[in-house]
Amino acid sequence: MRNRTNGFTLIELLIVISIIGVLAATPIGPLTGVQWATNVAADQA
């Protein structure tokens, strides 16, 4: 059995950062679509 040092490995940090990035980017897609639809509706009025 290997001795592990305390802390996170580089792979673990990359996985966590990528998951946080995906979760943070998820609400941006629908919001841009809503804003586009709102601008179209305002232009037609």
pLDDT in tens, the chain (45 residues): 566 667 889 999 999 999 999 888 777 666 666 666 677 777 776
Residue 27 gets which letter from DSSP?
Answer: T
Q: What is the pLDDT of residue 33?
A: 66
Q: What is the pLDDT of residue 41?
A: 72
Cα(2)–Cα(14) distance, integer angstroms: 22
Looking up tokens 């979760």, which residue turns up? 23
Q: What is the pLDDT of residue 42?
A: 73
Q: What is the pLDDT of residue 4?
A: 63
